[in-house]
Copies of this chain bind each other. A is one copy, B any other.
């Protein structure tokens, strides 16, 4: 398309502003070609160059260092997505909202959406055409009520909006855990066990958004995880499994966009959670899926009733998309394993795989249980034999060998495995028995200490629920890299340890060693 002569052209400039997911551009209030203020009523603009377009939210500046009169400043996400060199002339015009927003408004007014409308919304979301406010409108509009048909349409549209993996095998297994539990790195044990048995398990994982570590962050301590689609296929073909970051594979990109707004608003609904997880797993080409729902007072799911409702939704969507879905509930009252934070969790994982004496038993047992369920999807395995087979693969060292093979195939990690050099212990204020451990509190404390950004920051637990402690005995140790994190974490731990011993909170003032 030739440039429209009546439309303004501006030179691209790069503005080093990380605006998260949202495309943001900056224009001078004295812009020669573009009367920025005219656009204030619109607040969104469209950049166009040949066939390439980008919708962005407009900010105005009086500072030539951000954007001179003949320039348009592209924030980092806008610059990368538009992918044109600095200095390129682009056409800029006020942007009408995406047409699919009309369906969002209808949903807000209470109308049920049809498949075509949901497809259009998801396509616009996946192409970053919605502003954060518009994303919020869709999320909230569908938070109060969503029909079964809408849920299916949403899941299907999200699965189709990005990469869709196809595998040569009849059975492709996968697992997913409804997060919230610190530690809990079962995937890194389950995948090598199942892969060692011979079932394909191409696992993609997320990075932490609000937690101190995602499986991708922890695996990155051991191996490269930024792996693309073609490389992923070759790794799975040689190792039966992989443990990579989902971000490079682009499964269900609309889901990533929705999550970026869901999280700050704390807006998870059951239906959105199911659509999110199932869309990723369907796009990943899994045929047999195990969902782990930890239940506990500080877990994401707090009651058995909630877990059951969630299970039914997973089963319903799985059935309609022809996938075998099994949902189990697990103990979510406390962290799994002893480490919280990438390096500490990776150490736990390797201790379990290496059958080391001090390996955390809870992590080992939970991983064996999950692996057992997945192994029984193998028609050649005798019913009930899954657990014994999983233990055999773990105890014999076959799983560790498989993990080494996967690590070698993914390539070496560039991360240091050092723990934070600046640590302090949080100690019991009196004798007693550990009654409760607050998962939310420990997650937040590990983040304050620097995880996941500092791989070696985090928490090592010495005591779990039911353990006897004596006054002054350490409950856990916090590792940090820098002074400010140390002070912030110490002050947070002093305020509230997250442990209740014998029904008494550890009082403040006793904690930093």
Contact = CB atoms under 8 A, between A and B. Distances in A.
A209 B8 CA distance: 22
How many copies of the shown chain assemble into the complex?
2
B140 A60 contact: no
A68 to B, nearest CB: 13
Interface stretch (A11-19, A163-171, A339-347): A11-19
Contacts of A435: none
B132 A453 contact: no
A137 B484 contact: no
Interface stretch (A196-204, A262-270, A299-307, A315-323): A262-270
A59 interface: yes
Contacts of A137: 136, 140, 265, 267
Contact of A6 (B18, B97, B491): B491
A190 B484 CA distance: 63
Interface in A17-47: 17-20, 26, 29, 33-35, 37-38, 40-44
Nearest to A453: B37
- Report, as a range, how many residues of chain A touch the other chain: 35 or more
A29 B37 CA distance: 31
A6 B40 CA distance: 41
A290 interface: no
A131 interface: yes
Contacts of A143: 108-109
A133 interface: yes
A18 B29 contact: yes
Interface of A: 4-8, 15-20, 26, 29, 33-35, 37-38, 40-44, 59-63, 65-66, 97, 101, 105, 108-110, 131-134, 136-137, 140-141, 143-144, 208-210, 261, 263-267, 447-448, 450, 453, 482, 484-485, 487-488, 490-491
16 contacts: A6-B491, A18-B59, A19-B59, A35-B482, A38-B447, A38-B453, A41-B208, A41-B263, A41-B447, A42-B264, A108-B143, A109-B143, A110-B144, A133-B136, A136-B136, A136-B140
